[in-house]
Structure 1
Amino acid sequence: MARLDVTEIFDGITFPGHLHTQDSLRYAVDFKFEDTDTLIVTYPKSGTTWMQEMVTLVSCRGDPLKTQTQPNWARAPWLEQYYCPEVLKASQGPRVLTTHLPYHLLSTALQGSKAKVIYVSRNPKDVAVSYYHFHKMAKFLPEPGPFSHFLSDFVEGAVHYGSWFDQVKGWSSNAGNIQNFLCITYEEMWQDLRGSLQRVSSFLQCPLLEEELTSAEKGCSFSTMRENSMVNYTLVPEEIMDHSKGTFMRKGKIGDWVNTFSEQQSLRFDDVFASKMADSSLKFVWQNPEETALLKSRIDTELPTRNAA
């Protein structure tokens, strides 16, 4: 199923036709959740792959065999993508599912369900940069053009999967309507991977022993995932994803947006964020705390020399 140039429009949101059809999107909206299901929810480029690894390793009690032998899209399929029904037919045990869909499209399906929902969010400046680079290599996504044009589309929600602002606010503001809901940020995972694994294992009611936790932590470190072909999307053929134009797992850092955004773009984005997220209680880390502390240390060290001069 190529359909690289096809765009599906569903409920006013555009989706890449390579992976989505009207039937697959309706299948997701009408999905029958089981109480033992775990649903990972993200906006694209917000830590989806990372959480898929964490959930797999927690459920396998730190044993990396499954993450090293089974592609992530096969062990945690995207609910709205066309291949999901076939994957679920062949699956055994509790199901793990993934979605980029907004809350309002799945609210009816989740109503009354005890399925566990893990929502991962990431600061939108880093999301925009990561999504921009992904557009460059993914042939099923539109050519992004210059970053300034892509950023404008991103802010307006005129990109595949719709508005970041609407998606994030939709899920976070309706957390109370979901029986089992865990909200975690990409930045939390980056700053305290072990602690994040403990939160996830507790939420999934699968506490890990220390050695199991250590193994899981190693298995879902950025360096391990970047080299794992079951995770890094190098299994995807060149005609679908041009690996010469970048890597799926690019940097995995906090605050890398500063290397792409101009000062004017950053200030304009801040204004939009303040307006659109005024009623949201979510807090984001915008810069790498370690790099910020290092910069401050360098400035403090240089100040006496400058003053002396």
Structure 2
Amino acid sequence: MTEAELYSLYKGVYVPTHLHPPESLRYCEEFTFRPDDILITTYPKSSTTWMQEVVPLIVSEGDLTPVLTVPNWDRVPWLEEHRAILLNLEQRASPRVFATHFHHHMMNESYFKIKPRVLYLMRNPKDVFTSSYYYYGMASYLVKPGTQDEFMEKFLDGKITFGSWFDHVKGWINDLKGSVEKIAKFLGKSLSPDVTEKITEHCVFKNMKQNKMSSLSLVPEEYMDQKKSEFLRKGKKNHVTQLKGENKKEKPDLIYSLSYNA
């Protein structure tokens, strides 16, 4: 079966229609977070199941009962999946623990207003690719992967469920404005929204590159020959080493991560 038959396009990315019917996505969009909620956030096949085991055990202080008696999809439910509607999550005692595969920009208004606690788990993309390839081959609600080379092209282009691994990681890890807010809080500084926005805008890569005081363009050529390579270049990776072959795609750089707590 094809993408058109098995997937829905939601906020710019494919989601499996069987697991994420319209009423489930609507429920997720209207869901109200609490400040002490714990949200496990991952790109698919990034060891989510492992975190769905670890976090409840930490919350229960080592009591094995929850993980031995409750399926992980109910113990740590996916907010965007059809099961969430049936679980009376609004009545659960705090701290509630949830999971999501959503990109940062896909989160609802309540998330950005309440700012629950987030655990973002990132896995090596080569391992994600391999695990995804075999998973797509056995899951009836996903488009069959074809050959590894064919699936690699889809993986790199983000034409699989939940889109691009690169965009997913960049969105959650490289939240510059959120990082400015967290750093300011850690340093004991209370910044107004206008000041936070000003700092964020100034520190965007392309703007920093134009600042001679920061680009090291004032360093004498005998130490740094920036005619050969600028110190601040593009802020992007120019290639990704493939599992097979030497195909290259330009993808966002991931080196500017500051925290896993988004």
Cα root mean square deviation, aligned? 2.6
- What is the aligned partner in structure 2 of residue 129 from structure 1? 130
CA contact (8 A) 1:155 1:163 kept: yes
Residues 12 and 176 from structure 1, CA distance in 2 versus in 1: closer, same or farther, beyond 3 angstroms? closer
Residue 79 of structure 1 and its aligned partner are, at CA, apart by: 0.7
Residues 176 and 107 from structure 1, CA distance in 2 versus in 1: closer, same or farther, beyond 3 angstroms? farther
What is the one-letter code of the residue matched to 2:18? H
Q: Does 1:63 align with 2:38?
A: no
- What is the aligned partner in structure 1 of residue 219 from structure 2? none
- What is the aligned partner in structure 2 of residue 52 from structure 1? 52
CA contact (8 A) 1:10 1:22 kept: no
- What is the aligned partner in structure 2 of residue 281 from structure 1? 256
C-alpha distance after superposition, 1:102-133 (max 9, x if no partner): 10111633223141111001111110110111
- What is the aligned partner in structure 1 of residue 43 from structure 2? 43
Residue 176 of structure 1 and its aligned partner are, at CA, apart by: 5.2
C-alpha distance after superposition, 1:261-296 (max 9, x if no partner): 32x2xx43xx43xx313364259xxxxxxxxxxxxx
Aligned length: 195
Tell me whether 101-110 or 146-155 shows the greater mean CA deviation: 101-110
- What is the aligned partner in structure 2 of residue 85 from structure 1? 85
Distance 1:40 1:279 in 2: 20
- What is the aligned partner in structure 2 of residue 169 from structure 1? 170
TM-score, normalising length: structure 2 = 0.68
What is the one-letter code of the residue matched to 1:281? Y
Tell me whether 112-121 or 65-74 shows the greater mean CA deviation: 112-121
Distance 1:57 1:158 in 2: 35
Distance 1:124 1:141 in 2: 19
Select the structure of larger CA radius of gyration: 2
- What is the aligned partner in structure 1 of residue 151 from structure 2? 150
Distance 1:177 1:110 in 2: 13
Report sequence identity in percent: 38
Distance 1:59 1:136 in 2: 35
CA contact (8 A) 1:34 1:113 kept: yes
C-alpha distance after superposition, 1:219-264 (max 9, x if no partner): xxxxxxxxxxxxxxxxxxxxxxxxxxxxxxxxxxxxxxx9x932x2
CA contact (8 A) 2:6 2:142 kept: no
- What is the aligned partner in structure 1 of residue 72 from structure 2? 72
TM-score, normalising length: structure 1 = 0.58
3-state SS of 1:18 partner: coil
Q: Which runs of 5+ in 1 are unaligned?
A: 181-257, 284-309
Residue 7 of structure 1 and its aligned partner are, at CA, apart by: 1.9
Residues 14 and 108 from structure 1, CA distance in 2 versus in 1: closer, same or farther, beyond 3 angstroms? same
Which stretches of structure 1, 4 residues or more, deviate above 6 A after TM superposition?
none
Residues 170 and 16 from structure 1, CA distance in 2 versus in 1: closer, same or farther, beyond 3 angstroms? same
Q: Does 1:261 align with 2:243?
A: yes
- What is the aligned partner in structure 1 of residue 26 from structure 2? 26
Residue 38 of structure 1 and its aligned partner are, at CA, apart by: 0.6
C-alpha distance after superposition, 1:186-233 (max 9, x if no partner): xxxxxxxxxxxxxxxxxxxxxxxxxxxxxxxxxxxxxxxxxxxxxxxx
Residue 89 of structure 1 and its aligned partner are, at CA, apart by: 5.0
Distance 1:50 1:98 in 2: 12
- What is the aligned partner in structure 1 of residue 205 from structure 2? none
Distance 1:104 1:282 in 2: 17
What is the one-letter code of the residue matched to 1:151? M
